[in-house]
Amino acid sequence: MKKQALFLSGTILLLSALSCKKNQDAAPDPQAQQKLQGTYKFINLTAHTQSNVNESVGGVTSSTTALTDYTTTDNAGTIVITADMMSATGLTYSVSTDVRGAAFLNGQFQDSLNFPFDITLPATTSSSKYKLIGSDSLYFSAGGFITSASLPSGGTVPTTGSGGRFTFHADTLILTSSVKQSITQTVQGATIKSDDFATETIRLKKQ
């Protein structure tokens, strides 16, 4: 369960943080703004994630690396995009995949990791303000329109400023992003550092 909990922190990160390095002061393109607005059906989310966790205590360091790739199933929900807001209603999906990786002790390989990873996001309603940057990028000052979810540890991924790029393929809006987050904490004398990385693609079909 510990392995799954550590890995899930990286996966849930996808739902709340998108990285965007484009100049946030770029003026919005009026045509792109007009095209974005409307009602969309949530099609799916495709993701690749990696979570590296290092724990040090008493001069001993243990670490795990976990990776996964998946495309969500049982997708449902509606997203409404206005001039400055994205609102999701009834957003839900399932993930059923395997986590693969390895465990190390003081840098020496110990064991391979391979275990099932199955989650279902309960129907969720959320909204977030956004800013259009140029003609192909979005910035969310308080995190993405898909909100952070609870972790097995009882915490949540912080909601921070984030962004990503978008394009249209016919009537399908495709949002792409990459994510990186590092957290260091001390638990009962042990220093635990978690580095989470992810890339994702969200597809929405205009109604």
| Joined tokens for residue 155 | 């915490």
Q: Which one, of 179, 175, 181, lies nearest residue 138 by Cα?
A: 175
Reported as a single tens digit per residue, the pLDDT across 135-188 is: 999 887 766 555 443 333 333 344 456 678 999 999 999 998 877 778 898 888
DSSP H helices in the chain: 2-13, 30-36
Q: Which pTM does this prediction carry?
A: 0.79
Give how far Cα 55 sits from Cα of 60, 100, 138, 148, Å. Answer: 8, 19, 36, 25
Which of 2-16, 26-40, 42-56 is predicted least confidently?
2-16
2 Cβ partners below 8 Å, 6+ apart?
none
More confident residue, 4 or 53: 53
Domain residue spans of the chain? 2-206
- Give the H/E segment covering residue 203: strand 190-206
Q: What is the pLDDT of residues 100-143, one digit of tens each?
A: 999 999 999 999 989 888 888 889 888 888 889 999 998 877 66
CA distances (Å), origin 2, targets 8, 17, 53, 61, 151: 10, 23, 11, 16, 12
Give yes or no for residue 89 having a pLDDT over 70.
yes
